Chains A and B, each alone.
Chain A
């Protein structure tokens, strides 16, 4: 079983739709959960991180963590064509220190104008 499972897509939705992206994980040692966005020919950039179970909102983005189910989600409201990118979930055992990230494969998202 892979440590982090993420559907690679592509996921194609019309502009304005609510997008739901998800990852599951198997290692209960993971405590910090991140969502990165990666545009073509660019490095990943951090969108959001969360520590505990529950929701965290930032503008049009909401990150959700359910540690009991080992399931994390990212919701994008009022999706825009500029949101078209690959979305990577990532996680780590601790927030402090220098700890490498464990990533999912990434979901390729296409927002149709």
Chain B
């Protein structure tokens, strides 16, 4: 176990649904990240949060809405998604105060949009 948990592990939703992905880290880190992993594409950074503040939005469409209520929890709210949004969504956390801050990944949520 890496200390980063994600729920649900699998999610199937229609294009008109609203759902949320949840990430929790038990490592005492201050930074949290959302990445998207699509078939045959590199892992893509979506959002970065540091001390609950969003520090990076990698030109992500507004149908993805992140929320970071505290340094241990990160959510990704989904609405009006498209079939091409089907992917593995990975959460990661890291410290932010060392010379090198290793990112620890959760197992991901496998999302299918019908």
Partners in one complex: yes
Does B80 lie at the interface of the complex (its beta carbon under 8 Å from any beta carbon of A)? no
B42 and A49 contact, CB distance less than 8 A: no
Chain A residue contacts of B49, Cβ below 8 A? 98
The verdict on A57 contacting chain B, using a C-beta distance below 8 Å, is no
Give Cα A44–Cα B96 distance, bound, in whole angstroms.
19
Q: Which B residues are CB-close (under 8 A) to A101? A: 35, 43, 45, 103
Q: Is A17 on the interface with B (CB-CB < 8 A)?
A: no
Task: Select which of A32, A46, A100 is within 8 A of B33 by beta carbon.
Answer: A100
A43 near B90: Cβ-Cβ < 8 Å = yes
Question: How far does the alpha carbon of A2 sit from the alpha carbon of B41 in the complex, in Å?
Answer: 11
- CB nearest neighbor in A for B43: A103
Asked if A8 meets B100 with Cβ closer than 8 Å, knowing A43-B106, A100-B33, A100-B45, the reply is no
Question: How many of chain A's residues touch chain B, expressed as a range?
Answer: 20 to 34
**Cβ of A24 to closest chain B Cβ, rounded Å:** 13
Q: How far is the CA of A8 from the CA of B43 in the complex (A)?
A: 13
Pick the residue among A41, A49, A88, A106 that contacts B107 (CB under 8 A): A41
Least distance between A64 CB and chain B CB atoms (Å) = 18
B103: chain A residues within 8 A (beta carbon):
46, 101
Chain B CB within 8 A of A97 CB: yes
A6 to B, closest residue via Cβ: B42
Residue B70 CB within 8 A of the other chain: no
- Which A residue's beta carbon lies closest to that of B51? A98
Answer yes or no: B17 CB below 8 A from chain A CBs: no
Q: Determine which residue in A51, A95, A99 has the highest number of CB atoms from chain B within 10 A of its CB, and name it.
A: A99
Given A42-B107, A44-B90, A102-B45, CB of A96 within 8 Å of CB of B40: no
Residues of B within 8 A of A (CB): 2, 4, 30-31, 33, 35, 40-45, 48-50, 55-56, 58, 90, 92, 94, 96-108
A sample of 14 inter-chain contacts (CB < 8 A) reads A2-B42, A4-B42, A8-B40, A32-B100, A43-B92, A43-B106, A43-B108, A45-B2, A46-B102, A49-B102, A96-B96, A98-B33, A99-B101, A103-B44
